[in-house]
Amino acid sequence: MTHVYRKVKQSAELLEKLELAIPGYRGYKEKELRREADRLIREHLLKMLEPAYRDFKSSMLNAAGDTALMQTYNQVQALFDRVIAKLRTASYGYSGFFDAVKIREAELDKLLEYDWNLVSTVERLAKLAREAAASEPAKLGEALSSLRGELLALEDLLRKREEILRGAAGES
């Protein structure tokens, strides 16, 4: 997690580096760099989910003709769409100058750490989507069920991520 933040910080342009040297401005700029690192992690997660979603969509061919499988497939697709939308629109910990609730660097670091840990969940999800695409019709129901469970786990993690932000905001 911190290596992502360090990488973003190291790639700062000269003007940004000068801004980091200004005492009153430094904390603000470091917060922005943390938010940028968090955004990059979430973009990475979305890029990992794109091929997984395509793999999942190809499993529909194996479900054709089986009403129960198509119903399960449609439920998993709705869940997949919901998880991708939540990840795409997730808050990045911004609090404005005049906001009553402030999100501090420690909370942003915790959020970065949490987002970095989502990578392993998305990797498992991608593996299950590939397995569902390769499943024969007899085993597709089980593969879709496993995929559904992992999507529900990711959705729960994204919900907890929002709770981290609300909890951090509530402590200020």
Strand ranges in 32-121 using DSSP code E only, listed in sequence order? none
> Residue 107 burial (CB < 10 Å; 0-12/13-18/19+)?
buried
pLDDT band at 27 (very low <50, low <70, confident <90, very high): low
Of the candidates 166, 158, 127, 135, which has an alpha carbon nearest to the alpha carbon of residue 73?
135
Residue 89 pLDDT exceeds 60: yes
- Could you report the per-residue pLDDT of 98-149, keeping only the tens digit for each? 444 456 667 777 777 777 778 889 999 999 999 988 888 888 889 999 999 9
What CA–CA distances, in Å, run from 155 to 2, 79, 122?
Answer: 24, 8, 11
pTM: 0.72
Round to whole Å and give the CA distance between 109 and 34.
Answer: 7
